[in-house]
Structure 1
């Protein structure tokens, strides 16, 4: 048992080697010529055995490292009979292997977990390279495009060339909408792309949603709201016109006999007829104005984009609105962060939107204590240019807030109801948004994001 200890084995082998060397030199001084040769062979054998014995740990270490290199974590290491220090080495080897097994198992579980989510999520996902080579496509995407597999994005050309061009040329962080005519169905695809690297390979991850049903629902809802408004406005004009026309017909029948005008025509009757005609004319003119207003809403000019400092825009707006603001004794504040903030937009259209919002604020601040309008511009948390018009006026009730952007909806007696709707249209033409937040009698904020 003692010879199983590494240190004792080394000592014994060295002692045997030393004895053999001593015997070799001793035999050289004798007449037995064969003895040195035999002893020399023994010495060589002892040296080879010693080297091989010492290299055993190196072989075990090499085997251990190769198992890590080739991910062979199922084997265990046991260097037996080499003493306590090698028992510790055994434990260290096996602990490392165990840790690698655990990490690998956790990674595999995590991979399968993510793979399961990606494959079963109700969002179409495609990961592909710049040249269109598809790295991964999930079940939702296969179902959407009615395919079993996809090796390259160009394989979707039979479905839509526009879709292929969009996927190959889309920029990271870009949202875009593609319409696809698929046999008997129409797909409205909302596409968002992001980009990342794996082992120096640039991968584009595109998420695709068919929002056709959502768009149809929103379109139907928008039409219903618009029809209600149009019906309300038209009926407000048509009803009195129809009523007055009927009344006039009765009155005219009463003052005519056999196609001739009565001789004793009452002046009051003539005045009543005149007043009725004036009312009809007024309501007809109002209806015509309403139609022209609606037509203007649908004829917004295409934006002429240019990059300009927000500071110049705010300065010009302040000059234009200074007289109205001063007359209303309103405190007007502008804040721009950073001071050199630039925006790409149609300056005249955006100026029109902001002026409309400021005029709404002036109306809301009537008879309010310490009236204040704040015009702000900054980068939001997503890095997009944002402008806000805030006031401490009467505010907007929550039940009204979701209706203020509907065409012709207004809470003002003399309002046309197209200002905010027109503003939203202009922001959409800028690929931006406009939203409102209000706390009645405290604060109202309109936010434009570009």
Structure 2
């Protein structure tokens, strides 16, 4: 067994090399032993080469092991030189265990990748990713169905078949979303985000068909609108019908004919005048309601331009200055950063701000000790600009929070009920949102997010 031990064989070779080199040193000083010296020299060289070959076998094993890891070749094994001793056998076992661990890790990685690929292929959201050159890295079955393609290697291939969608994909900023209608009854919500993959910038786009949800929300909106319209119209028509019937009865009972002329008692005349005045008032109210509905449904498309938020808020404050002073309301403006800009239609957004500030003023009770409105602007965690209108008034009851954006719903006795719904519609035309947070008796905050 000792001759099979690697260390023993190395020691033997080193000893033999030493003996041979000693023979060379001994014979080289004797001129009569030139041949012997040459033979000793040749033997020494051959022994050194054999020692090198023997030692290099370990280096080759290590090189083979590292190359197996480098090229993911985990099929190879190490056992051919186990007979060289326990140290080699232990090294082979360690190498094989490491390769087995890599083999198992790669297998789990491939299974996980296959699992993710299956999920991506079966989700109802279309996914497509491409680099800065337009080379498509990933596209799932849903995206292919939306784009009406079997394969897509480069995003530029959409220029001919889906030119409008192609423009949407390239113009859509990171973190933003937009709506796009394609042929048929499909309304897509398009959302884009950027990722860095192995040093390459990749744009990931999600395409989601929101048409079913839109139809559901549209139906709910029409039901709410119909309910409000029915309520408002019936509030006007019912007293008109009732008064008309009463006036008819008055004419039947009190109208008399004398000498070819019709006469009415003074009391009946007063009742008719009162009834006609009431009918006129309710009719005018119905006309105003119809005008408000017309205004709500005829908002012009926004003319987008860059606007300084601080300048926008200061202008709004100047417009409301007289009303604020009359109501003894303190107003403050805080914009961070002061150079904050938004891409909006300035006139439409001014209309939203005026409406929100006006509502805030009207939210204060007459005996409020210190009415205050705060206009603040900053960016949210997604770097979207936002403007907040906060007041410390009576707040909005929880039951009304879900209703205040419904057209013609109002918590005020003389309110038209279109201000907030109109404001939200304007924000939606800017691909933004208008939300509210309130605590009854404490505060109300309206947030405009662009």
TM tier, smaller? 0.7 to 0.9
Q: How does 1:100-139 map to 2 (within 5 A)?
A: 100-129=102-131, 133-139=135-141
Residue equivalent to 1:55: 56
Asked if the contact 2:126–2:142 (Cα under 8 Å) also holds between the matched residues in 1, the reply is yes
How big is the shift at 1:52?
1.0
Scaled by the length of structure 2, the TM-score of the pair is 0.86
Asked if the contact 2:131–2:137 (Cα under 8 Å) also holds between the matched residues in 1, the reply is yes
| Secondary structure in structure 1 of the residue aligned to 2:195 | strand
Structure 2, unaligned runs of 5 or more: none
Give, in whole Å, the separation in 1 of the partners of 2:300 and 2:139: 41
Is 1:64 aligned to residue 65 of structure 2? yes
Residue equivalent to 1:162: 164
How big is the shift at 1:434?
0.7
Residue equivalent to 2:2: 2
How big is the shift at 1:226?
0.9
Deviation larger for 238-247 or 416-425: 238-247
Asked if the contact 1:306–1:345 (Cα under 8 Å) also holds between the matched residues in 2, the reply is yes
Is 1:443 aligned to residue 443 of structure 2? yes
Give, in whole Å, the separation in 1 of the partners of 2:304 and 2:21: 96
Cα 1:4–1:258, aligned 2, differ >3 Å: closer, same or farther?
farther
Give, in whole Å, the separation in 1 of the partners of 2:62 and 2:94: 11
Structure 1 vs Structure 2 CA RMSD: 3.3
Residue equivalent to 2:418: 418
Deviation larger for 433-442 or 186-195: 186-195
Deviation larger for 292-301 or 412-421: 292-301
Is 1:427 aligned to residue 427 of structure 2? yes
Residue equivalent to 1:393: 393
Asked if the contact 1:159–1:180 (Cα under 8 Å) also holds between the matched residues in 2, the reply is no
Residue equivalent to 1:296: 295
| Secondary structure in structure 2 of the residue aligned to 1:389 | strand
Deviations 1:134-161 (A, max 9, x none): 4333344456667765555577789755
Deviation larger for 328-337 or 133-142: 133-142
Give, in whole Å, the separation in 1 of the partners of 2:167 and 2:337: 37
Cα 1:157–1:26, aligned 2, differ >3 Å: closer, same or farther?
closer
Deviations 1:237-267 (A, max 9, x none): 22222222333334344525599533x5322
Scaled by the length of structure 1, the TM-score of the pair is 0.86
Is 1:222 aligned to residue 221 of structure 2? yes
How big is the shift at 1:422?
1.6
Deviation larger for 153-162 or 118-127: 153-162
Give, in whole Å, the separation in 2 of the partners of 1:141 and 1:347: 37
Asked if the contact 2:27–2:33 (Cα under 8 Å) also holds between the matched residues in 1, the reply is no
Cα 1:326–1:201, aligned 2, differ >3 Å: closer, same or farther?
closer
How many residue pairs get aligned? The number is 446
Is 1:314 aligned to residue 300 of structure 2? no
